[in-house]
Amino acid sequence: SASLLSSSASGASVVAIDNKIEQAMDLVKNHLMYAVREEVEVLKEQIKELLEKNSQLERENSLLKTLASPEQLEKFQSRLPTEVLCPEEESPGAAAPAQHSGGSAV
């Protein structure tokens, strides 16, 4: 009958739409996974660099502590809190603050 034909046709179009939705969702999922993996790689690299920098600074710090006289250490420690709260001037050796990169280029 005619009604049976139209219902099977609409059924087929629903399946086609479902397939298209599924394909679109797969595309989105793949794109997101790729973007996340890319971001993770960047962050891993940054973490590695920061760990290296940190251990370098720790070595420098312990060396400076070893070389400093007790008077120098005491003077430094007494000055530290005020300088942290209100730095009067940028120390010449201070590195420029790292630029925070915006999110991944998706």
Confidence at 106, pLDDT banded by 50, 70, 90: very low
Query: DSSP letter at 93?
Result: T
93 versus 29: the higher-pLDDT residue is 29
pTM for this predicted structure: 0.49
Query: DSSP letter at 5?
Result: H
Percentage of the chain beyond pLDDT 70 is 67
2 — phi, psi (to 5°)?
A: -70, -40
How many angstroms separate the CA atoms of 35 and 31, rounded? Answer: 6
pLDDT exceeds cutoff 90 at 101: no
Whole-angstrom Cα Rg for the chain = 30
For the chain, the domains span 8-79
**Alpha-helix residue ranges (DSSP H) falling in the chain:** 2-67, 70-85
Are the CB atoms for 76 and 68 separated by under 8 Å?
yes
Are the CB atoms for 35 and 106 separated by under 8 Å?
yes
Which of 5-9, 16-20, 39-43, 47-51 has the lowest average pLDDT?
A: 5-9
Coil vs helix vs strand at 71: helix
